[in-house]
Amino acid sequence: MDVNLEIMRGISLRKCLRNVRNLWWASPLDLPEKIRSNLWKKSASVSGFDVFLSHTWQSSGLRKCLALLLQSTWMWGLAFWLFILLLLMIIYMQNLLPTPSGYSLPQRYGGGTVPQGPWMAIFSLPSCLFGLALAVYLPERIWQSPTCFLDAVSIHQTDQGLMKQGVYGLGGFLKASKELRILWSAPYFSRLWCIFELAAYRTANPTGKITLAPVFVESAVAAYFVASYLACVSFTLDRQSFLFLSLVGQMVSTYILIWYLRRNLSVKRKLISDLQNFDIAQAQCRLQYDRDFVLDAITDWFGSQEAFTDYVRGNLGKAATSGLLPLTVELGWLLPVLGL
């Protein structure tokens, strides 16, 4: 658990999100030798980590990246959406935008036709996406991004000596981290390294922050936003011609969201069950060398593998699952969707 500053290297969260293909698309072990050797160069020497990113390479890198993107930059997307919304309102008031369609008011409201344009609906999604992209590519001097530990770049992937130091120094990295952020997916608690990181962090940093972030939440919100956007745009372009289509689109998008959340909630229940019935003998590890190291470290910390199993099922299981219920979604993510 000693902290070795000589091998401690981190990467900004913003830089993680700018290098999706090399850092998240596939496990470093599956990358060509040349690309693997360049991963180390993307990190820099640090004295500590704001966030230790714990994840498994058995799950989708795209979903993990999307989760990190929305978790860290949703405020920028919301702010730019509000800015464009206010700007369009001012332009509407000055009659500077064409209004190709109209809305017929019911007779109880005086009748008549209210001019209508599709511009607010059309610009809602692009404005949010632009805000997210702006946050990712802003210079660090304007907005300081958290420093992260990411295994692909914080541990050398080709130099066996440096790799061994990084693997053996993992406990020190966890001790020097302010937060352990778990990008939770279905295989997470079946991977020996993931269990090791959670146990090591609680042991080395008992007062540290553990954030459980199921990756399906952000992808569900994104899917619903896109589906609602397409239905809303078709509705505002021609209310009479596309009324049925837009209503069907909203119903389909809502059904997809509910189905998606129900499916992933069942996955969450399975994960909790797997954690409560954890057996270290069943935990998987890709390399035998890594498995031997993890089991030796666990034996040193807890006295035996059986004691560690009891710890995971008991105190660690309660600490891990307490942050999952109730499942919540940031209100800021939903405002642009509701604004449609």
290-301 confidence digits (pLDDT tens): 788 788 878 887
Q: What percent of the chain has pLDDT over 70?
A: 85
65 domain-assigned:
yes
| Partners of 104 in the β-ladder | 113
CB 199 within 8 A of CB 308: yes
Give the distance, in angstroms, between the CA of residue 200 and the centroid of all CA atoms in the same chain.
22
Taking the CB of residue 89, how many other CB atoms lie within 10 A of it? 11
Looking at the 3D structure of the chain, how many domains does it have? 1
Tens of pLDDT, residues 117-130 = 788 888 988 999 99
104 domain-assigned:
no
103 domain-assigned:
no
237 domain-assigned:
yes
**Quick one: average pLDDT of 57-65?**
88
Tens of pLDDT, residues 96-114 = 888 777 777 777 777 777 7
* 9 pLDDT tier (thresholds 50, 70, 90): very high
107 domain-assigned:
no
State how beta strands 44-45 and 9-12 pair.
Answer: antiparallel
Q: pTM of this prediction? A: 0.82
105 domain-assigned:
no
Assign 324 to helix, strand or coil: coil
319 domain-assigned:
yes
Tens of pLDDT, residues 223-280 = 778 877 877 777 676 656 666 766 776 677 777 767 776 776 777 777 778 777 888 8
**Quick one: average pLDDT of 187-199?**
84
| Maximum C-alpha span of the chain | 80
Is the confidence at residue 325, as pLDDT, over 60? no
* 326 pLDDT tier (thresholds 50, 70, 90): very low
Assign 242 to helix, strand or coil: coil
Q: What percent of the chain has pLDDT over 90?
A: 22
Is the confidence at residue 20, as pLDDT, over 90? no
* 1 pLDDT tier (thresholds 50, 70, 90): low
- Strand extents, DSSP E, 32-177: 44-45, 51-54, 101-104, 113-116, 147-149
Specify the pLDDT at position 144. Answer: 87
User: Phi/psi at 331 (nearest 5 deg)?
Assistant: -60, -35
Rounded to the nearest integer, the mean pLDDT of the chain is: 81
Q: Tokens in use for 316? A: 């660690």
Residue 62's domain comprises 5-97+114-339
* 50 pLDDT tier (thresholds 50, 70, 90): very high
Indicate the helix (H) or strand (E) that contains 161: helix 160-168
